[in-house]
A = this chain, B = another copy of it.
Amino acid sequence: MDLKIGVIKGDGIGPEIVTEAMKVLDRVAEKYGHICTYEQLLMGGASIDVHGIPLTDETIEKAKACEAVLMGSIGGDAKTSPWYQLEPSKRPEAGLLKIRKALNLFANLRPAVLYDELKGACPLKEEITEGGFDMMIMRELTGGLYFGERKTVEEDGVMTAYDSLTYNENEIRRIARRGFDIARKRRKKVTSVDKANVLDSSRLWRKVVEEVAKEYPDVTLEHMLVDNCAMQLVKDPKQFDVILTENMFGDILSDEASMVTGSIGMLASASLNETKFGLYEPSGGSAPDIAGKGIANPIATILSAAMMLRFSFDLDKEADAIEEAVAKALKEGYRTVDIMSEGKKQVGTSEMGSLIAGFI
């Protein structure tokens, strides 16, 4: 099979970790008889440096012509990087928002998994995490406060800023269906998170999610208020299977959940549209402080490549092979510095990539 993959290496540790994911993809291609063609795309700071803006229309067109895009990470150090002298709409992260909307990537999947091998890094006490946990956050990614109208105006000498949060039933229905579809393949439970005791958008959210739930009689639905969910993630993360929520709540809760695992360097993510197309990236940031040092953990990006094979190319066997190779590297005691613990073997970015490729 020919796989046409867009590659956004991105900023900070992005180029290093994407290189390792490509190494692993090439090994998979070799073993299973596929051909990967990579189209390099510029986004974020790297695009500002070349084009003056974080994402050009040409890049969007090129991305659309690919079957999937693999991305490193976007952004730099807000305190020192010249990118952050620009106004917000021209900064690296603006490219991310623009590509999500332009490619209609409304379904953002973020797994939050406690790796048994990495329990030591989990900030929660063992009695809470015993037996492990494995949840999937399904975040709506192209609506809500992120893409509502906004303005800042002076009225009678007083500055006032406005943002707006809008959802229509179709936007809610399509993400809800994605959430239930995923739950069906997992432990068959959806926790829909909203703030229905305050927001109209949340009340519509709840209503539409309940309608969708009727199409999935085999899946259990529960509703949870966002403030309560922020508590439950710390108190009892095991209770969750799929968390389904809107854009801003999903931003906050998915980051909280990823930190609760203690293994942010291990967490992949996928952003999907109505077709098979998806943008795949690690959950963590661009970590400019360790960029270029060869010590970043490439596993989140490698696992994002596995998600890509699974969701965009239906290559489940190949995706499994990557996930198993990652598990093997961990089991054999190999660790990058962020997940290092006593008695394990510390390796760099490139060595970790090679080890995982070698296990395939």
By a beta-carbon cutoff of 8 Å, the part of chain A in contact with chain B is 88, 91, 93, 97, 122-125, 128, 145-146, 150-152, 155, 158-170, 195-201, 203-205, 208, 226-228, 230-235, 248-249, 251-256, 258-260, 264
Contacts and interface: CB of A to CB of B under 8 A. Distances in A.
A160 B166 contact: yes
Nearest to A248: B195
Nearest to A165: B163
| Most central of A125, A205, A234, A259 by chain B CB within 10 Å | A234
B91 A197 contact: yes
Given A152-B203, A256-B256, 12 more contacts: A88-B203, A123-B235, A124-B125, A125-B125, A158-B169, A160-B168, A161-B204, A163-B201, A165-B165, A195-B251, A231-B258, A232-B259
A161 B169 CA distance: 8
Contact of A199 (B163, B198, B200, B205): B163
A97 to B, nearest CB: 7
Contacts of A233: 256
A233 to B, nearest CB: 8
Contact of A256 (B169, B197, B208, B231): B231
A227 B251 CA distance: 6
Nearest to A247: B198
A251 B229 CA distance: 11
